[in-house]
Structure 1
């Protein structure tokens, strides 16, 4: 039934109700009470009235009618069908119609839940690969002490029978290397640690990464001045290559230098297992190969994506100073002594943590690097000085 029919029916029912009300008043005057017939008629009219009112309410809920008076229908569909362009198109006066409808929707629905993505977008993470070059062993002490060869004068020579044999010289030195501590801390709220386990775990992981990243750099360029580690590029922990630019020629001199150093190491009895360079330097050298004829330098990537030059893996270390390099038998040259791996501890007793409901997270590691054989590592300036 249409809205108009329901409204007309309600008007008719209201008229009948008025008639029965008047009849009930007459019954009271004449009989002192309302007759049973009049009561039944009024009840029936009330039932009909409620039925039509329910129908009208349903139509209102479905949006077929409005309760706010003569509200203008400004929907896109109404704007389209009432536009002059559409009327002309429908009347056959034009073959196409272009209508601009006004979007009257404003604001946003605050009740719509955001599309929360799982996990945490991580920060940058550098590949840490220096530590894997060395032999690593545990220690239970706070210092490492070892005896190393300081010098060897080899005077061995052919001698005739009955002639005094030549004397050689061999000296030793005692080296004491303290165990260093690499650490840092951060504060987070107790609520964060308790309510968001994924975020708290991420903080712990980043704290561990921060310690190991510093260790990765210190293994290369640590000064050895307490409490710093003694990195393999510290003076005395490696052998300078000793080449000047004039001995390298003008074609790819950096590649020539590295190849000569590899040869020098092998000639000294050490089999190199890696080339360590700053990533920017390696990118520059790799780009230089693009301007030369293919095949001039034996260079390729292995299956794991690691570049190999002259058969050796190129280890790109952000801790290596720019324009310097090292080639070495690193596992033979030095040893990492691990006193304590990365330990992450939490405390609410630090400073005013208890009062402020905070937790201090501390990550630290204890280790030492001892370079026993400096001759097994050769390097220095990647761009040597002129003669």
Structure 2
């Protein structure tokens, strides 16, 4: 008996021995495909070995270029491995078919109907036997004697592969779950919720600002006809009309009729996401809008607010100095401080010289305040700035109209193409009544 072959492949004379039920045929192309795959895998393994556990691309010497170029080359190598593995799988299928064909030929030459390794699967009239026919012709049936107890056993090689494999049979049925994973987005309530909200029926919010306040009040002598020491000192007041126009924030989304007809959740999904887009844009405009039509004027661009450069200070020190300016010049108390998460991280991780966290141990939730001022982490603020101020008393979000969502097929050629235009918009004005009640810390 031929000794068993270890493994699937056996090399001899630069060819491949394909083992199927102790039947061996030579298949050179299979070995070449395997060697090509192994070579590419080894090259990729070398790259990761050079990079180390930290995946430091600067340590990789087997590839040229900067980190970006090396990562791109790794991606290409991986794609090539996938392609070579696919080719190897195809050749293995061919190898199995060739082995089966070889065994059938040998069985036909012997004329005994036996198929390699003592298996009892036979052919009759050029076709493969059915399950019943195979059993009737097997040693298990022929050798069984009634009353003798356990009879001989036989292996029936009944293959359904060519009938039921995925390419010619059924694909598996996959049922989509009800989960809808949304894109990561900045929450929309972080900024707007700190602006007191009112309503307006006008196209602009007009108000008066006291721009001159000269207080000459002083102690005065009793009137004396001989001199002017009894004259009252003259003070001065002046008012200037200010206004902030109502601006519109809007967007629309094209959707086909079929989306709403075939997917019950599509309508609710769109009608929720569109207002969120509007709210998110408002969030940004309230802090960084430049005031040039059609933009709102955000806190950072309000003329006359206090500024405090970071300079050589720490972020907590600079924020305190900005708050002190608000108190000194604006005679107001900051109600909130907006800062980017990347900058608040540096504050939250501040440590003493002996390694103690100043803003609380990592196991604690930690305070979201600084110098008693509530802190809101948001990417709506400019990353190099922190904005703080008395929004409670000196800011306002005047709503001309809340978010309105409408659907129509009258846009462009949407009617004849079976499409819908879903639009959402809002109109509002952002007001900062006392600029000195706000401040921006710059240079973070």
Give yes or no for TM over 0.5: yes
Return 5+ residue gaps in structure 2 as ranges: 1-121, 133-158, 224-229
Query: Which of 361, 368, 391 is equivalent to 1:307?
Result: 368
Query: Which of 345, 356, 372 is equivalent to 1:283?
Result: 345
User: Superposition pairs for residues 42-81 of structure 1, below 5 Å?
Assistant: 69-70=128-129
User: Superposition pairs for residues 366-385 of structure 1, below 5 Å?
Assistant: 366-383=427-444
Cα distance in 2, alignment partners of residues 310 and 187 from structure 1: 48
The answer to whether structure 1 residue 166 and structure 2 residue 202 are counterparts is no
**Alignment-derived partner of residue 327 in structure 1:** 388
Cα distance in 2, alignment partners of residues 286 and 169 from structure 1: 48
Tell me, what secondary structure is at the counterpart of 1:176? strand
Cα distance in 1, alignment partners of residues 401 and 231 from structure 2: 54
Cα distance in 2, alignment partners of residues 335 and 157 from structure 1: 37
The answer to whether structure 1 residue 149 and structure 2 residue 210 are counterparts is yes
Preserved contact between residue 318 and residue 441 of structure 2 (Cα < 8 Å): no
> CA 1:381–1:130 in 2, change beyond 3 Å: closer, same or farther?
same
Query: Which of 107, 118, 122 is equivalent to 2:166?
Result: 107
**Alignment-derived partner of residue 358 in structure 1:** 419
Q: Which has the higher contact order (CA 8 A, sep 6+)?
A: 1
Cα distance in 2, alignment partners of residues 160 and 379 from structure 1: 46
Q: Write the deviation string for residues 206-247 of structure 1: whole angstroms up to 9, x where unpaired.
A: 111111111100000111111110111114162224x5736x
The answer to whether structure 1 residue 197 and structure 2 residue 259 are counterparts is no
> CA 1:290–1:202 in 2, change beyond 3 Å: closer, same or farther?
farther
Preserved contact between residue 145 and residue 175 of structure 1 (Cα < 8 Å): yes
How far apart are residue 202 of structure 1 and its match? 1.0
Tell me, what secondary structure is at the counterpart of 1:224? coil
Preserved contact between residue 155 and residue 168 of structure 1 (Cα < 8 Å): yes
Tell me, what secondary structure is at the counterpart of 1:364? strand
TM-score, normalised on structure 1? Answer: 0.65
Preserved contact between residue 254 and residue 382 of structure 1 (Cα < 8 Å): no
How far apart are residue 351 of structure 1 and its match? 0.7
Cα distance in 2, alignment partners of residues 317 and 240 from structure 1: 20
* CA RMSD of superposed structures (Å): 3.2
The answer to whether structure 1 residue 245 and structure 2 residue 311 are counterparts is yes
Cα distance in 1, alignment partners of residues 417 and 396 from structure 2: 44
Q: Would you identify which runs of 4 or more consecutive aligned residues in structure 1 move more than 4 Å?
A: 65-69, 102-106, 291-301, 303-306
**Alignment-derived partner of residue 404 in structure 2:** 343
> CA 1:312–1:343 in 2, change beyond 3 Å: closer, same or farther?
same
**Alignment-derived partner of residue 319 in structure 2:** 258
How far apart are residue 122 of structure 1 and its match? 1.3
Tell me, what secondary structure is at the counterpart of 1:214? helix
Preserved contact between residue 119 and residue 198 of structure 1 (Cα < 8 Å): no
How far apart are residue 305 of structure 1 and its match? 7.5
Preserved contact between residue 333 and residue 375 of structure 1 (Cα < 8 Å): no
Tell me, what secondary structure is at the counterpart of 2:427? strand
User: Computing the radius of gyration over CA atoms, which structure comes out larger, 1 or 2?
Assistant: 1
How far apart are residue 103 of structure 1 and its match? 12
How far apart are residue 273 of structure 1 and its match? 1.1
How far apart are residue 66 of structure 1 and its match? 11
Tell me, what secondary structure is at the counterpart of 2:280? helix
**Alignment-derived partner of residue 113 in structure 2:** none
Cα distance in 1, alignment partners of residues 242 and 231 from structure 2: 35
How far apart are residue 336 of structure 1 and its match? 0.6
How far apart are residue 298 of structure 1 and its match? 5.8
